Chain A
Amino acid sequence: MTFLSTLALAVAVLVVAPYLAHRLRRRRAEEQPFPPARLVEPSAPKARRRSRLEDRALFATRAAAVLLLALLGATPFVRCSRLSLQRSGGASVAMAIVVDDSMSMRAASGRTSRFERARDGARELLASAREGDAVALVLAGVPPRVALAPTSDLGAAKRAIETLSESDRATDLDGALALARGLVASLPQIDRRIVVLSDLADGRPDAPPLGEGSPVPVWVALPELRVAVSDCALMTADRSGGRVRVQVACGPGGTAAGRDVVVEDAGGVVLGRTMLAAGAEVQATVALSSDAAPVVARLLGGDAIAADDVAPVLPEAGRGALAVVADATEEAVATGGAPIVEQALSALKLEVDLRPIPAFPDRVEDLGGDLGVLLDDPPGLTPEQRHVLGTFLEGGGVVLVALGPHAAAAPLGASFEPLLDRATSWGDTSSMGADPASATGELVESARSLADIGASRRATLAPEDVASVEPIVRWTDGAPLVARRAMGRGEAWLVTLPFSVEASDITLRPAFLALLDTWVRAARQRAAPKRSDVGTPWRFPGAHVVDAQGPAGPVAATQDDAVVKLVPPRIGVYRIGVDGKTEVRIAAPDARELDMRPRAAASSTSGSGMGEQRARVDASGEVALALLAVVAAEMAMRAWSRRLRNAEAV
């Protein structure tokens, strides 16, 4: 303790002086001589209240005055932890503030969260900015975003800071720095800098030091945030029958041993409980004690972040299924077994279930759990089947149709509407295969294997239908070999050859596997999983109106390449309206955020010359004004009290 600290404390002790003065000033009767005093019987004074504080308000005012006086004396020595900018030669500064809004920033830092401290730091930096400075705001949660484009309007910057909110996203500090560099690079200010307000816990503690070699000076402020703490998260909670299977993950050094997981219903009634075993990643099963629907699972026992200790319970999801409609008698290989397309799908190990069905279903519910439907040379579709197909496509389903001789010979009343408006034909072709140069998308590399597929005949689309599809691979004569057509939220893929080794060698080429892989991936994307990592975009191709309600309120949808996209910022349940239909999705914690070990920062990021965190605060003017006001109030109260006393005496 320095001499000044001791002196300040000594002055502060004077706060009790008014109290003592009040005590001493209690009205003792003035002593006067009286010879027969020993004949007077002593008695307690009648007015006991005089021994108490005469005027509490007056006492409080005097105590406040002394306190303010002590504070006034101490103001030259008061330093508080505030961020402030330093300027080289007083020049204007272009500053990009990178605020980390990832889940790790929700851990506590003193009395508030790390994110709140970072936001306070941004406010403090803005408070030290001047007219002529340019400020940009970048958020480091995945994906990095620009919260405020560079502006010299400091008021707008302050308002932008106030709109920032916590999220449960993962961290992308490198991406955020790159974004920030791009923002300040084009600004006219010579003095440019990037201020990072983050705990640097991006799940990559061994990554190169942050800011190393950055062309724009980087200041990683708030070192107090860089504290490694342990956290465990409830990653999934899936119901299967009378059990709920939970998965708990912990960051490095953490363990869930001894902690309990409870499952509750909508009313908060505990339906089951289990104790977790030791380990960084633990799976446990909670047996339900009643038939009530479990709604939420909770990981009990406190840790760094409470938000990831709760997970909604979902019915256990399967891997997804592909319905395959293929004629086993014609498509089977010579050695027997499943049709070749089924074998190809199995060989790809796509972690989807194959569901061979004899014919395309004529009821919508029969395709309820399928990601996609593969039709190998179907003989047209009945009206009922066409209705089911249309509904499936509108709802986001994906269909792969291989057109062959049966498709061209569809019976009366059977057609491929709404896939194709016209009938297809099956006839000879002079083209030996596909033109590799015409390939697009994922088939670019493998299209070379389709240059000679030994097809003597092929299906041909009507010119009207050719115009309505998007060719992916063309025959050498320009006719589409593989084409795609968006329908509603779904997609229809067309191949103008059947998947039969009798018709061509296409099923024997690598491009065939690439085709199936691409199609299955598209099917998966269309049928977005019900649970995904927080911060991972949900895409709604073909959807026009998407609105979502998340744990923290409405979530705005954005457009990305004409596709509506929605990014869940928080862990929890989202009710999403897609063109009038409501679906429920869940954002789960990102395991990377559980590793809260801070990443190293380059030595050049200490902020030397760019700013300081300990700033002197000169509040003497305000304190002096307050002291003046208190003294004036004290005098007024004394005058009032005296007048009152005189009135009583009269």
Chain B
Amino acid sequence: MSPQATGPIRRAIDWGKLAPLRLRARQVAEGAYAGMHRSARRGAGVEFGGYREYVPGDDLRWLDRRSLLRHERLIVRQFETETDRALCLVVDASASMGFRGSRAPGAKLAYASVVGAALARIALGSGDPVSLTFLGGGAHTNSVPRSVGHEQFERIVAALEAAEPGGDAHLDTGMLEKGLQTLSRAARRGAIVVLLSDLIDLPPGSAERVAAIASQGRVLVVVQTLDPDEIDFPFTGNVRLRGLEGGAVVETDADTARERYVAAMQDLTRTWREAVVRRTGRFVQASSDGDPVDVVRAVVEGIR
């Protein structure tokens, strides 16, 4: 049986069973972590933290010359230090994030908001500053500058609740550029950048450009937030599908097209995963019908 569509995407977030965001985020945060965030970061410090492959942008001071001479490979040394680590939440609020399939408890943006708010609560609980940046979004979608304290959590929650899905990242190539520029200014060295996005309809080369955030001591975690229908393509029979960005309309026999779609989605995911991991980032795939606690836990563990 083919899933029933939710109809045209509403301007407001379809929260569904994920509302209210504030309580839901607290529950997730409490369920995901209690004291495991220790604001550790690798980079310049006093305690050796290991080696990793050099990526452009790394400080050449930490280049291990012995490894270069012995193995002819560019290896950098990492060190751990106890410090305050800012959390930069980047939430994709483009139109495609407003999608909610028949099996999801809410729209992808709502799910990403819950995860983001929970992460913010965890970070704020540890005294780390948190900022919120949106990619796209409607008129009432406003970023929240970096700050700390309980009020910051309220501001972040309010901004997430007020956000509206909108914008076409496929056609508006400046949308990603604008978000990245904002992020570059807000994310200082050692900041943790968490991108919550479906990664769909972003312009070509986006994976590399986003992965580049992971330089200069920043930690990047990309959370690909997908609707379950986008993962397993549950349609049957003849379907006529309209993309929410880019204006693509496709008519196909779902039974025939399913296998190739799943492969294409896996290719997309693999591309992003490889790009992010290559930059020492973390890649987490989340389904909006899954437990947000698991996602938050995976993100936190990825940061460690």
Q: Which residues of A contact B (CB under 8 A)?
A: 27-47
Contact = CB atoms under 8 A, between A and B. Distances in A.
Contact of B252 (A32, A40, A47): A40
Contact of B229 (A30, A34, A39, A46): A34
A33 to B, nearest CB: 6
B91 to A, nearest CB: 16
Contacts of A33: 5-9, 99, 241-244
A45 B6 CA distance: 24
B96 interface: yes
Nearest to B230: A36
Specify the main secondary structure of chain B where it touches its partner: mixed
A34 B252 contact: no
A173 to B, nearest CB: 76
Contacts of B242: 31-34, 37
5 contacts: A32-B240, A36-B230, A37-B241, A39-B268, A43-B257
Output the residue of A27, A35, A47 with the most chain B CB within 10 A. A35
A47 B252 CA distance: 11
Query: Which 10 residue pairs across A and B have the least CB separation, nearest first?
Result: A35-B96, A37-B243, A32-B5, A34-B241, A29-B240, A29-B238, A39-B264, A38-B248, A37-B241, A31-B240
Given A40-B261, A43-B257, A45-B251, A35 B201 contact: yes
Nearest to B262: A39
A41 to B, nearest CB: 5
B16 to A, nearest CB: 16
Contacts of B239: 29, 32
Given A29-B237, A39-B200, A41-B264, 9 more contacts: A28-B251, A32-B240, A35-B99, A35-B230, A38-B201, A38-B246, A39-B265, A43-B256, A46-B238
A28 B240 contact: yes
Contacts of B233: 40
Contact of A35 (B8, B245, B255): B245
A46 B257 CA distance: 11
A27 B253 CA distance: 13
B260 interface: yes
Output the residue of B7, B200, B241, B250 with the most chain A CB within 10 A. B241
B198 interface: yes
Nearest to B246: A38
Contacts of A37: 241-243, 248-250
Nearest to A47: B238
Nearest to B265: A39
A442 B248 CA distance: 114
A41 B248 CA distance: 11
Interface string B170-185: 1000000000000000
Contact of A39 (B7, B95, B261): B261
A43 B253 contact: yes
Nearest to A38: B248
Nearest to A31: B240
B14 to A, nearest CB: 12
B270 to A, nearest CB: 13
A442 to B, nearest CB: 103
Contact of A44 (B170, B201, B240, B253): B253
A43 B96 CA distance: 23
Contacts of A27: 238
B53 to A, nearest CB: 31
Contacts of B9: 33
A46 B256 contact: yes
A496 to B, nearest CB: 117
Contacts of A31: 240-242, 249
Output the residue of A27, A31, A36, A44 with the most chain B CB within 10 A. A36
B253 A40 contact: no
A40 B241 contact: yes
Contacts of A43: 252-253, 256-257
B257 A41 contact: yes
Contacts of B6: 33
A46 B241 contact: no
B133 to A, nearest CB: 21
B249 A41 contact: no
A44 B255 CA distance: 12
A39 B261 CA distance: 6
Contacts of B248: 37-38
A30 B241 CA distance: 8
A28 B255 CA distance: 16
Nearest to A44: B253
A43 B240 CA distance: 11
Contacts of A29: 237-240, 251
Given A29-B237, A29-B238, A41-B261, A35 B244 contact: yes
A314 B170 CA distance: 101
A597 B230 CA distance: 90
Contacts of B7: 33
A604 B237 CA distance: 80
A372 B303 CA distance: 145
Given A35-B243, A36-B200, A45 B238 contact: yes
Contact of B240 (A30, A39, A47): A30
A42 B257 CA distance: 7
Contacts of B265: 36, 39
B243 A34 contact: yes
Contacts of A34: 5, 99, 229-230, 241-244
Contacts of B264: 36, 39-41
A28 B253 CA distance: 11
A237 to B, nearest CB: 77
Nearest to A28: B240
Contacts of A36: 96, 198, 200-201, 230, 243, 261, 264-265, 268
